[in-house]
Structure 1
Amino acid sequence: MIHRHSTPMLYVKKALSADKPLPSETQRHSDFTFRTAALPLAISLSVMSVFPGVVSAEERFAIEEVVVTARKREESLQDVPVAVSAFSEQALEMRNVTSIEKVSQFVPNVQFDGAAALSGGGSNATIYIRGIGQNDFALFSDPGVGTYVDGVYLGRSMGGVMDVLDVAQLEVLRGPQGTLFGKNTIGGALNITSKAPSEELGGEAFLSLGTFDRQEIKGIVNLPLIDDVLLSRISLASVKRDGYAERVLDGEDLGDKNSTVGRVQLLWHATEDVDVSLAADYTRGRTHSAANTLLRVNNSGFPFLDIYNAEVAPGTGIVAPNGVASVNDSWITNDPYKTYGTGPNDSELDSWGVSATVDWSISDNLDAKSITAYRGLEASFGRDGDNTPFVFRETTNDNEQSQFSQEFQLTGISFNDKLDWLVGLYYFNEEGEENAAAQLAVGIYDALEALPGPTYGPFGGAGNPANTGLDLDVSIFNKIDTESYAIFSQNSWHFTDRFSATVGARYTRESKEFEKQDQRLGSGAYIVSPGSTWESDWSEFTPKLGLEYTLSEEAMMYVSWSKGFKSGGFNGRPLVSAAEVTEYEPETVESFEVGLKSSWLDNRLIVNTAAFYMDYEDIQLTVNQTPANFVANAAMAELKGVELEVIAKPLSALDINFSAGYLDASYKDVGSGLGVGQVLPITEKTDLAKTPRLTLSGGAQYAIDFGSGASLVLRTDLSYRSEVYHDIANDPLLKQDAFTLVDASVTYTTPGEDWVIRLFGTNLTDEEYLQSGNASSAAFGIAEGSYAIGREWGMSVKRLF
């Protein structure tokens, strides 16, 4: 394989080599003074970071250098002109990252929530990077941040909250990745690389126990089948944890975990120049719904709620805590982890995939790669959105999705090492079906039919056609078929050893066909008739231009301009007629970025920073304020900010990391809905959802090496987020005030490093913070929210063999 910067995956630089004498105290002081004086310049210019794990005493003052694949070739993170955060396996372990959404605590300007509003699903991801993402889990809504596992794109946000199992590295790429990664990476990308099979027989066994009766078991075996020819690796995990929220009427919990994950990999060295990697994975989840609680009930002036309380609720035999047979604010528990809900309470996931990757080193300067993959998932989940024993607002979703993708890459170095180039082709096909139910104010239609005549305005009386409009007990069928083609290329010309320019481009053509059928169960009337279909296609050219200049062996500066694109789609939540199934347009972003990556003090200090400005146009805003449910294109937003990441190793035993992100995001034009009654609930003064202005994190890790060869590592991490709104309309109840999370761990490694014992605690201050929510105030008068888990303690034991 060809690499301009050839380094092992976790190559460690030696700042003080054996053949170089130690500098004198005067020299060291002079060096420190000079570099400290220059440090503000470095901080003001650039981007990104590496997080070190534990380093042995023999590797004094060495900061671990991570090799990333942010440009689809292996490069040192410090040499790649991209805003990317990279976490090695050890870095993830030391931060107690057992599920990928937790990594957002350590990356600037990233919001990753694991309980998508309206769904009840415990594995539905909501990811925003630099203010760009998607707040909807639905089958017909594409994510704005792409997730890739071993080069394979995952088409749905359902199942996007994944357990960390045998991960070699996790990269978070910030900003549009429309050239090399392409599909739905308008906000950025998560790039996950699994540990590959190796030549050595070995493995590990892992057990973790903790609060909420947590039980986590992992087993990994690396098994060479034919020496130097065929290697294999098997990884298995089981994670169980009781729920952290409770339904007080039936005693069932919410927010639990119960998943089984498996992965099998084969690596075949077919020839000296050809490697073939085969992988298969499976995830099974069987849990209750995500934690949910009632935040608000407006007791009058809301038509569905008023009619329901007058005509339906008194006949159910259900009495509220205040003694009234109605949906009212006495059902609010004022405890974020308790609810009176009794409705749907399940979240099930089956996700699987197979892939084949062929790497062919054609010559010293030419590589070819093929990635072929098939994936499928079945996901069903439900929620009690009114959080009462009434059937006033409940939903269930049952989804099936399959996808096939094929990518070809050709990578080379030409013109006497002046040109690094890559060209590629990409194909993606997805099919999905959803059978769902929205049980909204169930019983209203029958109650209106039983009235002697119009009683509530035009509503009431047997056979009154107006009654049908309030029949919102609806069965839903959605089907999607997406096909996407792309051709892409990225090329870097090295004018000198220090100065280079990058030019890249991608042309994407995507088509979608959407089929829908929605029926009102009370009246039997159709909102959307059987066999109704919509189809459209879109295409976009997404270029990238960049300049990179190496200031010295320790510093590199870059500037770039790039464009991102996400295709359009169709509104899939009508409640009145098929006219609501409008087509919304693609969204695009143009990003300008300047960055500096630098190392100081003989590689004992790394400072990376970036500043960016983005024009975000035709934003696909999802409005879920039942009965107003639609997507429309808000005209424009302006996103600008800075990011800083610092790693320091002031002592051989001490590692320190710090990151900061500042994001100023504002609408510049609002736009309008696409159909009758579709009004965007925003103004130019509205804050963008899921976009905290300030994100901070810091960690310190101290290693004590004993003479016996054993070691003890103490670590603590803090992360801070400023206030953030979880809905586009900025409902005050869905605003999370600023909060800070504190984690800590103590890790003991035995002599020989064959046993690792860790005590850990997360969210030690027991912060209560909202991770998602929904407010449907126009007609239902209800707001609901999902709070994240509180304090956890635990202990883990790992045996290496």
Structure 2
Amino acid sequence: MTITIALLLAAQASAPATPVQDVAAQTQEVAQTQENGGTDDEATGRTGPAPGGEVVVTARRRAESAQRVPIAISVVGGTALAETGTYNVNRLTQIQPTLQFYSTNPRNSAANIRGLGAPFGLTNDGIEQGVGIYVDQVYYSRIASATFDFTDTDRIEVLRGPQGTLYGKNTTAGAINIITRAPSFEPEARVELTGGNYSFFQGKASVSGPLVDDKVAIRLSTSVTTRRGTVYNVRQREWQNSQDNQSFRARILWQAAPNLDLTLAGDYNRQNPNCCVQYYARVGATQRNANRQYGALAAAQNYAVPSTNPFDRLTDIDVDVRAKQELGGLSLVGNWDLGGATITSVSAWRFWHWDPSNDRDFIGLPITSASNNPSQQSQISQELRIASNGDRSLDYVAGLFYFHQKIDTQGLQIQGPAASAFLLNPTSAGGRNPATLNNLTSRNTIGFTNTSAAAFGKLTWHPTDQLSISPGLRLNYDKKSGDYVSLVTNGTNTALTGDQSGVLSPQSYAPEFDNWNLSGDLTVAYDFSRDVHGYATYARSYKSGGINLSGLPLNAAGTAVDLSVQTVDPEKVNHLELGLKTQFADRRVTANLAVFYTGIDDYQATVNNGQLAVIRGYLANAGRVRTAGAELDTAFRPTERLNAYFNAAYTDAKYVRFRNAPCPPELSGGSIATAANPASAPGRIGSTASPSFSPVVCDISGQVLPGVSKWALSFGAEYDLPVRVGDVAGQVYLGYDGSYRSRFSSSPSPSIYTYVDGYSISNFRLGFKTERDFNVFAWVRNAFDENYFELLATQSGSTGLIVGQPGDPRTYGVTLSKSF
């Protein structure tokens, strides 16, 4: 923050006469006009302005028209977020087809764009995401720290494709840029209240106004969300997968001089839901012997799940679940106008504390009685930029960035009395004795530090009024270091037996990684006319390398950990994109098209550990992946009363080369294959007399990447009619928003058992709103009560049990908002 303070002192000493506005304040006026009925065409996912209007974005660190910026970008305004019930990143996927978000709990979350961003599976502290999350220009290093409810949000910009020059090396897939409402010198207040089934309640409120004439303004915002769970635990007699979120945000704007403004912001968020549970979805055959398949193991324990239909939403897990987290921070943003250029400083400190409780065997038997990884993270960041002002033949942005992060994690895994039967051969002495694995405990102490520094710049040259050429470079340095210590004890405090160490093995290692890399991009844009704009982009980008902090596999002899896989190489990205942005019919129709090809060498993928009960795999570099496709964003306003939109994404994402991948469930669980005993046919169920054999690794080259639907659509419309209620004039409106995703693989290695079927969701709303300050509407989401899974996973130990996380059932309610 010393840089920001230095800016203040220098500006006060010599302040030019021309006033300056914060970029967020500039775009606030446009967004406010849109929300008040003028040009809100970005609402409900529409991309593009209404007739005579422009949607202004800050995607390239300056205020620009969304239609003219040569980036594939979607913008969702604050009104659209409220009316579509999009109050977090997960719900944003329903109106943004190319965005994918998967989460088994806040820590184990991943945001992907065009199928890229983060490895599919449980989180590994030692690597970073490939989709950058920014809130008011502050970088959020963990997707978990961005699982808050949107509070007092002006707009969200979703930038697709590598953004490494201006947004950093870890935006190889894209960026989500969240902009909250700026403090106002005009007094104002907003209140929004929502109630619905499942005891849903959400309250949001904000107030803003001057503190010192036209010098200092403040904005205070708060949000509360609660909802009863949608899954009933028949054993614990309680609803699970609930919501319980509270947040508070404050921003103080100081117009320190006509050419200088400073914004001090702070936020605090607390979440403590009874969450998150996955449970029985189906059973598949593995290569285990018949008496070690899930059905036989459950029968031997006289156990049956409450229902084999997952959409009955019943579970009987025997461990309390908890997903408690606290997150927040402080930031100071300064903008100093020098006339020809503006200097911007962004100083920030953030924290994230995670306190979970999970049942990772997913059923009501005491197999894994605890699998928790409480974690505490803190980060500091400093960015300093200079950007040219005004229209000129040569525009530029240049800057420096520094980031430091520290994470401390305390892992705990405890096996229960049923673990012996499920994880060992039930016919062996160890497998017949519940005491063999009962109370086998692994306590893990994990430390991690991450330091990154960068210098970056981007030029835009306008050789003619229609043509612009924009090269960009970013030089980046990363250093990561960690330590992983796993202490394993048994229930008798004696030396570990072979059965016990085969399930949980003591480990201790201290990985380190450091690397320099250079990212670059080149965009050529051409304005064919006032309403037709084209661009072509090539980008060479990097996602930082990392270190494995979830335990390592044993060596071939099974005597020690394999230290050769303790680090992960950076991903190297080559990206090509062509885009065309058009408007016609007096700007009543907007149609934007982008086609892209992205190839990644050394793709960071999840690989299974051969140990039976290890919950988490480790990370390794796949040879090469690629994603290619096309995106169409359209908006229509045939009349002043009707708005409609249709967005489509076709994404073909595949492993080009991955020869040492983990094997899918149908090929796992058998004895190690040899030349004399080759791997069994997929899905064969073995027997004690004739054991099945599994390959050590599988070649999945040519198969699809996990989590990516080949087709994803969002579409909708809103129609309104003018009415008068007494002396109040307003509009009655009817809105519809729909989305569709085709089937996708829910496993790093595609499996016949873990494909999620395609599904569609329909949402309706009917309401009344006045021109500026009042809105009330009834809504129903997932109106046709579509049964679908958000993701599927496998139980540890290759038993064949597939567990799932169903999406929300039909919900309905009423929302009322009022501005003052």
1:689 aligns with 2:703: no
1:546 to 511, 523, 528: 523
Match of 1:615 in 2: 599
Map of 2:669 onto structure 1 = none
Give the stretch that moved more between structures: 215-224 or 377-386. Answer: 377-386
Question: Does residue 370 of the first structure (1) align with residue 354 of the second (2)?
Answer: no
> Is 2:57 aligned against 1:68?
yes
The normalised TM-score by structure 2 is 0.83
Q: In 1, distance between residues paired with 2:52 and 2:696? A: 53
What SS does the corresponding residue of 2:331 show, helix, strand or coil? Answer: strand
For the pair 1:432 / 2:421, whether they are aligned, the reply is no
Relative to 1, partners in 2 of residues 1:13 and 1:280: Cα closer, same or farther, differing over 3 Å? closer
Q: Which whole-Å CA distance do the structure 1 matches of 2:749 and 2:324 have between them?
A: 30
Check whether the contact 2:305–2:315 (CA below 8 A) recurs between aligned residues: no
Distance 1:285 1:267 in 2: 28
Cα distance change, pair 11–69 in 1 and its aligned pair in 2 (3 A):
same
Rounded to whole Å, the distance in 2 between the matches of 1:4 and 1:230 is 17
2:274 maps to a residue whose letter is H
Q: Which residue of 1 aligns with 2:16?
A: none
2:513 maps to which of 532, 536, 539? 536
**Deviations 1:211-267 (CA, angstroms, capped at 9, x unpaired):** 100011111111310111000000011110000111111112221100100001100
> CA contact under 8 A between 1:771 and 1:787: conserved in structure 2?
yes
Q: Distance in 2 between matches of 1:791 and 1:214?
A: 12
Instruction: Give the AA of the match of 1:513.
Output: S
Distance in 2 between residues matched to 1:723 and 1:562, nearest whole Å: 30
Cα displacement (A) at 1:137: 2.6
Q: Which amino acid aligns with 1:516?
A: Y
CA–CA distance in structure 1, aligned partners of residues 287 and 94 of structure 2:
41
Counterpart for residue 738 of structure 1: 758
Equivalent residues in 2 for 1:721-800 (5 A)? 721-750=741-770, 753-776=772-795, 779-800=798-819
SS at match of 1:367: strand
Q: Which amino acid aligns with 2:775?
A: V
The residue that corresponds to 1:556 in the other structure is 533
What's the CA shift for 1:325? 2.0
Deviation at 1:338, TM superposition (A): 1.3
8 Å CA contact 1:259, 1:283 repeated in 2: yes
Gaps of 5+ in 1: 16-48, 314-319
- Report the Cα offset of residue 2 of structure 1: 9.0
| Alignment partner of 1:635 is 2:644 | no
Output the amino acid matched with 2:714. Answer: S
Cα distance, 1:698 vs structure 2: 0.7
SS in 2 for 1:391: coil
CA distance in 2 between partners of 1:340 and 1:462 (Å): 21
Task: Confirm or deny: 8 A CA contact 1:229 1:270 kept in the other structure.
Answer: yes
- Where do residues 281-292 of structure 1 align in structure 2 (5 Å cutoff)? 281-292=267-278
Deviations 1:631-660, CA, capped at 9 Å, x for gaps: 111111221111001111100111111101
Aligned to 1:665: 653
1:316 aligns to what? none
CA contact (8 A) 1:344 1:396 kept: no
Distance 2:58 2:423 in 1: 62
Q: Secondary structure at the match of 2:705?
A: coil
Identity %, equivalent residues: 26
C-alpha spacing 1:304/1:161, structure 2 compared with 1 (3 Å):
farther
For the 8 Å contact 2:151–2:221, the answer to whether it is kept is yes
Q: Distance in 1 between matches of 2:454 and 2:703?
A: 36
Q: Against the structure 1 CA distance between its residues 535 and 471, is the aligned structure 2 distance closer, same or farther, given a 3 Å change threshold?
A: farther
- Judged with a 3 Å threshold, the aligned counterparts in structure 2 of structure 1 residues 535 and 673 are, in CA distance, closer, same or farther, namely farther
Aligned counterparts, 1:383-532, within 5 A = 383-393=358-368, 394-412=370-388, 417-440=392-415, 456=428, 473-522=441-490, 532=509
Aligned-pair CA distance for 1:295: 2.7
Residue 330 of structure 1, CA deviation: 7.9
Is 2:549 the counterpart of 1:574? no
Q: Give the Cα separation in 2 of the matches to 1:299 and 1:129.
A: 33
Corresponding position: 1:252 with 2:243 = no
User: Which stretch has the larger CA shift, 616-625 or 723-732?
Assistant: 616-625
Q: What's the counterpart of residue 665 of structure 2?
A: none
- Inter-partner Cα distance in structure 1 for 2:59 and 2:523: 15
Match of 2:117 in 1: 133
Return the match for 1:92 from 57, 60, 81. 81
Q: Tell me, yes or no, if the aligned pair for 2:756 and 2:791 is still in contact at 8 Å.
A: no
Does 197-206 or 769-778 show the bigger shift? 769-778
- SS at 1:709 equivalent: strand
Q: Compared with structure 1, are the counterparts of its residues 251 and 418 closer, same or farther at alpha carbon in structure 2 (3 Å cutoff)?
A: same
The answer on whether the counterparts of 2:591 and 2:635 sit within 8 Å (CA) in structure 1 is yes
Q: Which residue of 1 aligns with 2:143?
A: 157
SS in 2 for 1:263: strand
Map of 2:357 onto structure 1: 382
Contact kept in structure 1, 2:277 and 2:358, CA below 8 Å? no
Describe the shift of the 1:593–1:61 C-alpha distance in structure 2 as closer, same or farther (beyond 3 A): closer
Contact 1:488 1:505 in 2 (8 A): yes
User: What is the Cα deviation at residue 86 of structure 1?
Assistant: 0.7
| Cα distance in 1, alignment partners of residues 417 and 382 from structure 2 | 46
- Secondary structure of 1:578's aligned partner: coil
2:420/2:431 contact within 8 Å kept: no
Q: 1:6 to 1:238 in 2, by over 3 A?
A: closer
Contact 1:290/1:786 (8 A) holds in 2: no
Q: 2:720 — aligned with what?
A: 703
2:580 partner amino acid: L
CA 568–500 in structure 1, closer or farther in 2 if over 3 Å, else same: same
Task: Provide the residue aligned with 1:33 in structure 2.
Answer: none
Counterpart of 2:739, as a letter, is: S
State how far apart, in whole Å, the 2-side matches of 1:492 and 1:253 are.
56
1:18-45 CA-to-partner distances (Å, cap 9, x unmatched) read xxxxxxxxxxxxxxxxxxxxxxxxxxxx
* Number of residues of Structure 1 aligned to a counterpart in Structure 2: 738
User: What value does the CA root-mean-square deviation take over the aligned residues?
Assistant: 3.5
The answer on whether the counterparts of 2:511 and 2:566 sit within 8 Å (CA) in structure 1 is no
Contact 2:744 2:757 survives alignment (8 Å): yes
- Aligned partners of 2:788 and 2:806 also within 8 Å: yes
Question: Cα offset for 1:279?
Answer: 0.3
Structure 2 unaligned spans of 5+: 1-19, 35-39, 555-559, 663-671, 673-693
CA distance in 1, matches of 2:434, 2:115: 50
Structure 1 residues 475 and 779 mapped into 2: Cα distance closer, same or farther (>3 Å)? farther
- Residue 216 of structure 1 aligns with an amino acid whose one-letter code is Q
Given that 1:448 and 1:460 are in contact with CA atoms closer than 8 Å, whether structure 2 keeps it comes out as no
Q: Hey, what's the Cα distance between the residues in 2 that align with 1:5 and 1:261?
A: 21
TM-score (norm 1): 0.85
SS in 2 for 1:159: helix
Query: Do the aligned partners of residues 515 and 304 (structure 1) sit closer, same or farther apart at CA in structure 2, a change above 3 Å counting?
Result: farther
The amino acid of 1:369's aligned partner reads T
> What's the CA shift string for 1:37-67, capped at 9, x where partnerless?
xxxxxxxxxxxx9624799xxxx97365211
Q: Compute the displacement of 1:448 (Å).
A: 12
**Which secondary structure state, in structure 2, belongs to the residue aligned with residue 158 of structure 1?**
helix
State the shift of 1:391 in Å. Answer: 2.1
Q: 1:732 is aligned with what amino acid?
A: I
Where 2:708 maps in the other structure, the secondary structure is coil
Partner SS for 1:358: strand
1:443 offset after TM fit, Å? Answer: 6.4
Within 2, Cα distance between the matches of 1:13 and 1:384? 46
The one-letter code of the counterpart of 2:806 is: Y
* Alpha-carbon distance in structure 1 between the residues aligned to 2:774 and 2:380: 41
SS for the counterpart of 2:581 is strand
Quick one: distance in 1 between partners of 2:399 and 2:325? 33
Q: In the aligned structure 1, how far is the partner of 2:190 from the partner of 2:22?
A: 31
- Paired residues of 1:12 and 1:64 also in contact (CA < 8 A): no
Q: Is the 8 A contact 1:296 1:329 kept in 2?
A: no
Counterpart of 2:471, as a letter, is V
Tell me the equivalent position of 1:26: none
Render the CA deviation track for 1:266-319: whole Å, top value 9, x for unaligned: 000000011000000000001112241123456996489949999xx9xxxxxx
| Residue of structure 2 in register with 1:347 after alignment | 323
SS in 1 for 2:276: coil
> Residue 146 of structure 2: SS of its match in structure 1?
coil
